[in-house]
Amino acid sequence: MNMFPARLRALRKGLNLTAKELGAKFNLAESTISGYETGARKPDTETLEKFADFFGVSTDYLLGRTDDPTPPSEKQIDLSELRESAVAYLAQNSHAGARLNDAETTIKLIEEEAQKLGMSPSDPEFQKMLSHAFDLLRMARGENPK
């Protein structure tokens, strides 16, 4: 479902702007803004990014891919919490000869932690967390992390 038209309209109205006023800010005709808001037209990538910056939301929010309007640059992720959780997990599961190469279990742990932080697997920060988790596994096995 294309959420862009409704989200653009709601954001514009939230700032008490007319379609003409919003268009003027982007050097676009009122009819272009109206076309975006009815779904008759779609903005190019550059215009979509400009709208996201102007309204202080993410492009994913504008497109309806997430309900979280927070731009990625404003999300504060504390990777130290994840690292502590991963270290605790490894410490609890490394005794009695337990194998530490269970990637599926590690990924599940990381996914659970990411959900607690409001992240999705497609987030670049999530990918960083996976990388850190695998570094910890390598260290636990006596290997050098990448």
What are the helix (H) ranges across 3-102? 4-14, 19-25, 30-38, 45-55, 59-63, 79-93
Asked if residue 146 belongs to a domain, the reply is: no
User: What sign does the CA torsion over 63, 65, 69, 72 have?
Assistant: negative
Q: In this predicted structure, what is the pLDDT of residue 69?
A: 76
What does the pLDDT read at residue 67?
81
What is the predicted pLDDT for the residue at 70?
73
Q: What is the pLDDT of residue 118?
A: 72
Range of the domain at 70: 4-74
Report the pLDDT value the prediction gives residue 104, as an integer from 0 to 100.
Answer: 61
Tokens of 93: 């599961």
Which of 25, 50, 74 is where one domain is finished?
74
Helix (H, G, I), strand (E, B) or coil at 48: helix
* Residue pointed to by tokens 């202080």: 56
146 residues of the chain, pLDDT tens digit each: 689 999 999 999 998 999 999 999 999 999 999 999 999 999 999 999 999 889 888 888 899 888 877 776 655 555 566 666 666 666 665 543 444 455 566 667 777 777 777 776 667 777 777 777 666 666 666 666 55
- pLDDT recorded at residue 98: 47
**How many CB atoms neighbour CB 2 within 10 A?**
10
User: Last residue of a domain, which of 58, 74, 90?
Assistant: 74
* Residues 100 and 66 occupy one common structural domain: no
Same domain, 13 and 65: yes
How long a stretch of residues is the chain? 146
The CATH number given to whatever domain includes residue 50 is: 1.10.260.40
Domain count of the fold of the chain: 2
